[in-house]
Homo-oligomer: A and B are copies of this chain.
C-alpha cells in the first residue's frame, strides 16, 4: 500500500490548491515518536535523522543513517538512497540544489494533528541544515497534501474499514444477546474485550475506554472509561467501540434500553430522544457530498436536536476515520476555536466520516455513531445504521 500512497501523494503535489515542488518527510528514532505519515509512505520507521523527498516530478529520494540502509533498500520505494554516517547535510543540499524546488512542503499544522508530525526540535535542526541557503524561505505547510492523502481512501482502504465495522457490529449483536441488568459497566466492557480478543483484532483506541460504557443518568462526558455503575432496568445504556483491521479502524456507538418489569417498549421520552438522534443523523447524511463544509453538516444535526427541545451536544458531529479513529483534517464541527479551520475545509470524495450526535435524557445518554463514505455526489453508509433502539429484557 505504500507504493499506492506515494503515487497518490505525487498526484496531489500536482493539484493546484496543494501544489508544491517538493514534499519532505523528516523522521528520527521512530520508536520514540514518529510522524504519523511515515506509516503510510514507508510502513516502517528509522533510527537516525532521515529525509524522504518526494518531488512533483515523481522523483523520490531517501537520506538516511547508514545502519538503516538495508531495511530501506528492501522497501524498493526510492529512486536513490543516500546513507550518511556523520551528517545528512551534504546530501540534502546537493539534492535541493540540483532540483531547486521553489516550495518545500513539510509536515506541520496548527489545526490538524495528522498533518503535524514534525517536532519543533527537528524543525530547528532543518533550519540549521538549511542555514545560509534560500531554501529555508521556501518552507510551507503540507497540511493540505496530508489532508488529501489521508482523506481520500482507496478501494482497498475502504474495504479494510468495512471489515473493521463488521467485526464491531457482530460484537454489538452479542451484547444485545448477553448483557443483563445487574451487570456493571466494567463487566460489560470485559465482555466486549473478551469477544474482541477472540477475534484477534486490537482496539481502535486506548483500551481503557475502548469500549466506553455509559449506563443511566449521568453528567459524564465521552472518553472516560467504564465504572462500577450498575445497569438497571429503566436505564438507557450505550457503547462506543471499534477495532483495527489491517491498520484501519472502526468507531461506532449504539444505544440500548433496559426494559422495566412489565414494559414491552421504552417510555415515550426514550423513544423521542432516540428518534431525534436517528433523524438528526439521517438529515446530516442526506446533506453530505463533495464540496460542502463540515460546519454546515454539523449545524443541520445540531439545529434539529435543539429544535426538538434538547441541549446541543458539546462536541463535533463527526470526524474522519482511517488508520486512526480520529483521522484526516476536515471535520463535521461547529466553529469553536478548538476546531480551528477544520470545519471549513470542503469535503472530498473518498473521505470516511463518523456521524455521532448525542443528547441527554433522564434515563441516560442517547448517542448513535454511524460511519459513511463520501461519494461522487452524496454519501454511502459503511455501517448498517441503527434504526431502532435495542432492547434488553
Chain A residues at the B interface, C-beta cutoff of 8 Å:
28-29, 31-36, 44-45, 47-49, 65-71, 74, 84-89, 108-125, 128, 205-206, 208-209, 220-225, 314-315, 324-327, 336-338
Contact = CB atoms under 8 A, between A and B. Distances in A.
A45 B324 CA distance: 14
B338 A116 contact: no
Contacts of A326: 29, 31-32, 47
Contacts of A225: 71, 74
Contact of A338 (B85, B108, B120, B208): B85
A287 to B, nearest CB: 24
B128 A122 contact: no
A324 B86 contact: no
A385 to B, nearest CB: 24
Contacts of A128: 110
A205 to B, nearest CB: 5
B121 A109 contact: yes
29 contacts: A28-B113, A29-B113, A29-B326, A31-B324, A31-B325, A33-B33, A33-B117, A44-B206, A47-B326, A49-B338, A67-B314, A69-B221, A70-B221, A70-B223, A71-B208, A71-B223, A71-B225, A85-B314, A86-B337, A108-B121, A108-B124, A110-B122, A110-B125, A112-B121, A116-B120, A117-B119, A118-B119, A118-B120, A119-B119
Contacts of A108: 119-121, 124
9 closest A-B pairs by beta carbon, nearest first, are A70-B224, A116-B121, A87-B337, A29-B113, A108-B120, A67-B221, A120-B123, A32-B113, A71-B224
Contacts of A117: 33, 119
A271 to B, nearest CB: 26
Instruction: Give the number of times this chain occurs in the complex, counting copies.
Output: 2
Contacts of A113: 28-29, 32-33, 119, 121
Given A85-B338, A87-B336, A116-B119, 14 more contacts: A31-B326, A33-B116, A45-B206, A48-B338, A67-B223, A67-B314, A69-B221, A69-B224, A70-B224, A74-B225, A108-B121, A117-B119, A118-B121, A119-B119
Nearest to A46: B223
Contacts of A69: 221, 224
A110 B116 contact: no
A290 to B, nearest CB: 24
Contact of A32 (B65, B114, B123): B114
Contacts of A116: 33, 119-122
Contact of A66 (B71, B86, B110, B221): B221
A69 to B, nearest CB: 6
A208 B42 CA distance: 13
B71 A209 contact: yes
B36 A32 contact: yes
Nearest to A29: B113
